[in-house]
Amino acid sequence: MKHIAIVGASLAGLSAARALRAQGFEGKLTVVGDEARRPYDRPPLSKEFLAGDMTEADLALEADDDELDATWLFGSAATRLDTSTGAIELADGTRVDADAVVLATGSRARRWPGCEELAGVHVIRTIDDALALRADLQPGARLVVIGAGFIGAEVASTARKLGLDVTVVEAAPTPLAGPLGEQLGAIVARAHAANGTTLVCGVGVAGLTGVDRVTGVDLTDGRHLPADAVVVGIGGVPNIDWLRGSGLELGNGVVCGAGGETTVANVVAVGDCSAWYDDSTGAAHRVEHWTGALERPAIAVATLLAGGLHQGTVAKAPYFWSDQYGSRIQFAGIARPGDEITIEDGDCDTRCFLATYRREGRLVAVLGVDQARLFTRWRRQLAAAPSTV
Amino acid sequence: MLEVCPLSELPRGAARRVDVEPPIAVFHTDEGEVFAIDDTCSHQDASLADGWLEGCEVECPLHASRFDLRTGAVDAPPAKLPVRTHAVTVEDGMIRVELSADKPNLPPDIRARLGAGARA
């Protein structure tokens, strides 16, 4: 391998570049990013950066002593991958003649269909998205957030702090039922009401109103919520369209083995665009967490340097955190309906607790709300637990 | 000198946050040494006293950067800057700390809260 290209210049791409150098790759390294910015940290975009408490400079991911000796190509997306050679074509016509590739193209925010031209309708994925939303977060304005997931909750929390009138609409009967399960999702979501946010659950959105600028949200039960701004927080879509026809197996993400390996020996995939096989569930999952984008590239790079063979290091259990309404939520593992839930410490009424999830007696996930110290202890127990029965 | 607590109240493997401005964390390692560093991770608002202590290193409870208790140096991202260390003495069974006069590397969200807001 003489020339490795990393497609994607966010956390997963940067982590892959660091891992390649740390693991002794001395050849040519090219990093391609579709945004015109150097790698930056996205979690603060719905929180401190949105509130104006952090600057763009604070978001920089690179350290002064990162000596990656890489060629960075910013501002143009990759449009084609030739898996037989490893060559990549970019939208601006540039051709990168690599012989091995790390795919780290991430995901994009899912938008509300048909609202591309409607001012005041936002998603959050990039710095530009956050800057545009920040301009609309004026005290006293009415904000409707579609989706009560973590992004939606964090935006609602930030907007409340800035003095907006906030309503969150969630189609599912219980918020966060996917990641946390119904019981604990409902408890965590009580923070909305406790902080003056109106939460509407179990009702879909029929459409958005307004001609040039959004004026409100129509619900499927006939209600109309007037709005000065709307945030759509309904998940992400992996950026894999450019890989159709490349020969890679694509599902909900680039389908990978447990070491990031794809169906092509000289291509691995990391971060939000990838779906790695997980032994604990027997399926491939897209893990859209910051921590996965930080940690998994080291595993994938080892796979790539070994010619596409997973070297045996197993990815840690998925871990994420969310800061909302002054509370810190931490979760590790994968929860499933029917898991046995135990409150190990604290209590749900004060929303300060540590909960565990067990399946057939085996620890499979841990949730902490304002329990950083205990959470670390339990997360380690989770890591020590055998991943298969 | 800041009087922290009697050594007998801080067992080996334990940590204590001391609410000075900015807060510090005092660790009693499994090997029996006592160290003091700034409590707030240099990356984001997280208390290192809540972190995982292993040898002479503490792992941030939020994003797993590790700080060396002896030097304050950080081993891996996301944190990029070291935390300050503070000189510790244990005399007559009492832990005392001489606070560093260096400038702390506080994370941006804390700087904003302390009034040095980022919004220029």
Q: What ipTM was assigned to the predicted interfaces of this complex?
A: 0.83
Which residues of B are less than 8 Å from A375 in CB distance? 61
The pLDDT tens digits of the residues spanning A102-161 come to: 999 999 999 999 988 999 999 999 999 999 999 999 999 999 999 999 999 999 999 999
Residue A24 phi/psi, 5-degree rounding, is 95, 10
* Residue A63 in contact with partner chain B when CB distance is under 8 A: yes
Band of the pLDDT at A388, cuts 50, 70, 90? very low
Chain B interface, Cβ < 8 Å to A: 46-47, 49-52, 59, 61-64, 77-78, 80, 108-109, 112-113, 117-120
Where does chain A have alpha helices with state H?
A: 11-22, 48-51, 127-136, 150-161, 177-180, 182-194, 290-305, 372-384
Closest-approach residue (CA) in chain A for B42: A58
DSSP A293: H
- A55, A294, A377 member nearest B77 (Cβ): A294
End-to-end CA separation in angstroms for chain B:
37
Q: Do residues A297 and A256 touch, judged by C-beta distance below 8 A?
A: no
- Close Cβ partners of A289 (under 8 Å, ≥ 6 residues apart): A318, A319, A320
Max Cα distance, chain B (Å): 50
- Is the CB of residue A375 less than 8 Å away from at least one CB of chain B? yes
pLDDT of residue A374: 94
**Chain B closest CA to A373's CA: distance in Å?**
4
> What is the C-alpha to C-alpha distance for residues A151 and A214, in angstroms, rounded to an integer?
21
User: How close B117 comes to chain A (CA, Å)?
Assistant: 6
Chain A residue nearest residue B43, CA to CA: A58
Over 60: is that where the pLDDT of B120 sits?
A: no
pLDDT digit string, tens, across residues A58-98: 999 998 778 899 999 999 999 999 999 999 999 999 999 99
Q: A82 is written with which tokens? A: 């030739």
CB contact (8 A) between residue B117 and residue A53: yes
pLDDT-based confidence at B115, cuts 50/70/90? low
CB contact under 8 A, B61 and A373: yes
Distance CA A332, CA A352 (A): 17
- Determine the distance in angstroms separating the CA of B109 from the nearest CA of chain A, rounded to an integer: 6
With beta carbons under 8 A apart, name residues in chain A contacting B49: 373
Cα B44 from Cα B39, distance rounded (Å): 11
Q: Comparing C-alpha atoms, which of A297, A136, A319 is closest to residue A230?
A: A136
Cα A306–Cα A309–Cα A314 angle in degrees, nearest 5: 105
Question: Given an 8 Å threshold on Cβ–Cβ distance, is B47 in contact with A41?
Answer: no
* Nearest chain A alpha carbon to B63: A291
Token pair for residue A63? 């350290």
User: Which of A18, A55, A127, A379 should one mutate to test binding to chain B, selecting the residue with the greatest count of B CBs within 10 A?
Assistant: A55
For A235: left if phi > 0, alpha if psi spans -120 to 50, otherwise beta; the answer is left
A381 touches chain B (CB under 8 A): no
Residues with Cβ within 8 Å of A115's Cβ and at least 6 positions away in sequence, in order, are: A121, A208, A214, A232
Residue A264: closest CA among A6, A16, A99, A83: A83
Reported as a pLDDT band with limits 50, 70 and 90, residue B117 is very low
Dihedral in degrees, nearest 10, Cα atoms A325, A369, A124, A182: -110
Task: Report CB contact under 8 Å: B118, A58.
Answer: yes
Partners of A113 in beta bridges: none
Query: Do the chains contact at B112 and A372, CB–CB below 8 Å?
Result: no
Cβ atoms A123, A111 nearer than 8 A: yes
- In sequence order, which residues have a C-beta less than 8 Å from that of residue B108 and are 6 or more positions away? A48, A53, A54, A55, A58, B118
User: Which run of H or E residues covers position B5?
Assistant: strand B2-6
Residues A307 and A265: beta-carbon distance below 8 Å: yes
Decide if B109 and A373 are in contact by the 8 Å CB cutoff: no
Instruction: Point out the residue among A54, A321, A373 whose CB comes nearest to the CB of B118.
Output: A54
Q: Are B108 and A54 within 8 A, CB to CB?
A: yes
Residue B3 has a pLDDT of 95
Q: Is A321 on the interface with B (CB under 8 A)?
A: yes
Chain B interface includes A384 (CB < 8 A): no
Quote the tokens at residue A305: 């340097």
A107/A236 Cα distance (integer angstroms):
6
Q: Which residues on chain B are in Cβ contact (under 8 Å) with A44?
A: 109
> Which residues have CB under 8 Å from A306's CB, separation 6+?
none
User: Which tens digits make up the pLDDT trace of B50-76?
Assistant: 999 999 999 999 988 999 999 999 988
pLDDT digits (tens, 9 = 90+) for B19-49: 999 999 999 999 999 999 999 999 989 999 9
Q: Considering only CB atoms, which chain A residues are within 8 Å of B120?
A: 55
pTM tops 0.90: yes
Tokens 């994925």 locate to: A125
Q: Is A221 buried (19+), middle (13-18) or exposed (0-12) by CB count in 10 A?
A: exposed
Inter-chain residue contact A53 with B50, CB threshold 8 Å: no
The angle at the Cα of A29, spanning A27 to A31, to the nearest 5 degrees, equals 170
B117/B62: higher pLDDT: B62
| pLDDT at residue A386 in the model | 58
Query: What is the rounded end-to-end Cα distance, in angstroms, of chain A?
Result: 39
Amino acid, res. A341:
I
Computed on alpha carbons and rounded to an integer, the radius of gyration of chain A in Å comes to 21
